[in-house]
Amino acid sequence: MAVKNVQDLINDGVEGRYVLVRSDFNVPLNDNREITDAGRINASLPTLKALSEAGAKVIVMAHLGRPKGEVNEKFSLAPVAEALSEALGQYVALASDVVGEDAHERANGLNDGDILLLENVRFDPRETSKDEAERGAFADQLVALTDEGGAFVSDGFGVVHRAQASVYDVAKRLPHYAGGLVEKEITVLHKVADEPAKPYVVVLGGSKVSDKLGVIEALAPKTDTLIIGGGMCYTFLAAQGHNVQESLLQEEMIDTCKKLLDTYGDKIQLPVDLVAAEKFDKDAEKKIVDLDGIPAGWMSLDVGPETVKKFAAILHDAKTVFWNGPMGVFEFPAFADGTRGVAQAIIEATANGCFSVVGGGDSAASVRTLGLNEEGFSHISTGGGASLEFLEGKTLPGVAVLSE
């Protein structure tokens, strides 16, 4: 990637300088506001440590959830500040606002090596505004927290596909650098997109065909096999004429799926059995059925054991794998076997020399939720949407701006 990185910034001399860092701390919380998956926080640590140890005055920008431009305690970054402090082994203060009085006072009081976390940038509606002038005004206020020697480091890969103030507009106003995380993500994804070792297998799951249509159309010509599971597989099965009963279905996408099957039928691999459930509930009665065996009024919440065997056999010989989307409702233990089985097959392929990438989002969450070995994959991305858009060939504004 032809952009300057964090090491370039450190080599230029960063001691005593303010550095704005855009991280991605959009982590899942439970009802007690406890972080249930700290993967994105852990991924941010190397860049923050490097800057702190080099003596920078670090100000971190991040968001959590969708507060829709309003201050909402439910989406406060307080749990993140606490987790970050513990992970870094140093106190990370949280400003009570984004660009207000408290943020300025705390920024002015930073010593070399200190780290300050601003409150959720999406508490300000200008962060995600479509109006460039509005975003620019907000970016100016963020930049005002630094001084003449300020710099910007983009390290939130999960947001680089968005032209938002803290991602894009700040980069236009300060000397800018790619953080270690963003640099690594782009390098890995280039390897998958540009020079995948064959056989190249893409595994897609998740709920909606419409969410993955772009990546299916972009990757199908390049792959040897396209495995489809999760909620989106039921629309494909319906396109083949199967009765999926109450399973998740996008009726408006059935014709699209028919066309994809006509065009890439030799590459697309679908389930051969399913795990049906009486209702959408973790304790629902379940049974393994064939593709037309879902009882009336029931739904499928996972792929079946024969499907796992079929997919695992394909993955066994793969040399490159990109996986985005679980095979079923992995959050319910009774319906997690499909996702676990496919993930385990990818881990085994990786041990045999396959280059495997988990494309962020629910896939990454499932790896941790199911207690699988994260080291068993070549790379686990922190950005689901960003990784998909990259592989679709779309321009990622937060990456493109770093080349300017």
Side chain identity at residue 153, one-letter code:
V
Per-residue pLDDT, 210: 87
Question: Does 113 appear as a known binding residue?
Answer: no
Q: 18 falls in which pLDDT band (50, 70, 90)?
A: very high
Nearest partner of 206 among 299, 307, 303, 325, judged by Cα: 325
Question: Does 198 appear as a known binding residue?
Answer: no
Q: For 111-144, what is each residue's pLDDT tens digit?
A: 999 999 999 999 999 999 999 999 999 999 999 9
Q: For 291-336, what is each residue's pLDDT tens digit?
A: 999 999 999 999 999 999 999 999 999 999 999 999 999 999 999 9
What gap in Å lies between CA 154 and CA 185, rounded to an integer?
Answer: 12
Nearest partner of 80 among 43, 46, 35, 44, judged by Cα: 35
pLDDT at 2 over 80: no
> Is the CA virtual torsion 164, 168, 173, 176 positive or negative?
positive
Segments of 28-85 assigned E as strands: 57-61
Contact (Cβ atoms closer than 8 angstroms) between residue 288 and residue 298: no
CA triplet 241, 246, 250: central angle to 5 degrees? 65
Question: Does 26 appear as a known binding residue?
Answer: yes
Positions marked catalytic = 40, 208, 361, 385
Question: Does 362 appear as a known binding residue?
Answer: yes
* Token reading at 231: 């909620």
Among 18-27, 208-217, 251-260, 341-350, where is mean pLDDT lowest? 208-217
What gap in Å lies between CA 390 and CA 68, rounded to an integer?
Answer: 26
Per-residue pLDDT, 37: 86
Residues 354, 355, 359, 360, Cα dihedral to 10°: 100
C-alpha 262, offset from chain centre: 31
Nearest partner of 118 among 134, 141, 99, judged by Cα: 99
* Token reading at 145: 């927290």
What gap in Å lies between CA 322 and CA 199, rounded to an integer?
Answer: 12
Contact (Cβ atoms closer than 8 angstroms) between residue 151 and residue 173: no
Which ranges constitute the DSSP H helices of 220-360? 233-239, 254-264, 305-316, 337-351
Q: 65 falls in which pLDDT band (50, 70, 90)?
A: very high
Q: How far is CA 385 from CA 185, 188, 226, 306, 391, in A?
A: 13, 15, 19, 30, 10
Nearest partner of 182 among 12, 404, 391, 387, judged by Cα: 387
* Token reading at 209: 């065909």
Question: Does 377 appear as a known binding residue?
Answer: no
pLDDT at 1 over 80: no
Question: Does 270 appear as a known binding residue?
Answer: no
- pTM, entire model: 0.90
Share of the chain above pLDDT 90, in %: 90
Q: Which domains does the chain have, with CATH numbers?
A: 6-182 (3.40.50.1260), 196-391 (3.40.50.1260)
The mean pLDDT value for 185-203 works out to 94
The mean pLDDT value for 332-355 works out to 97
Segments of 221-310 assigned E as strands: 225-228, 268-269, 273-277, 286-290, 299-303
Question: Does 361 appear as a known binding residue?
Answer: yes
Per-residue pLDDT, 404: 82
Question: Does 33 appear as a known binding residue?
Answer: no
Nearest partner of 50 among 38, 58, 60, judged by Cα: 58
Which ranges constitute the DSSP H helices of 195-248? 209-219, 233-239
The mean pLDDT value for 266-277 works out to 97
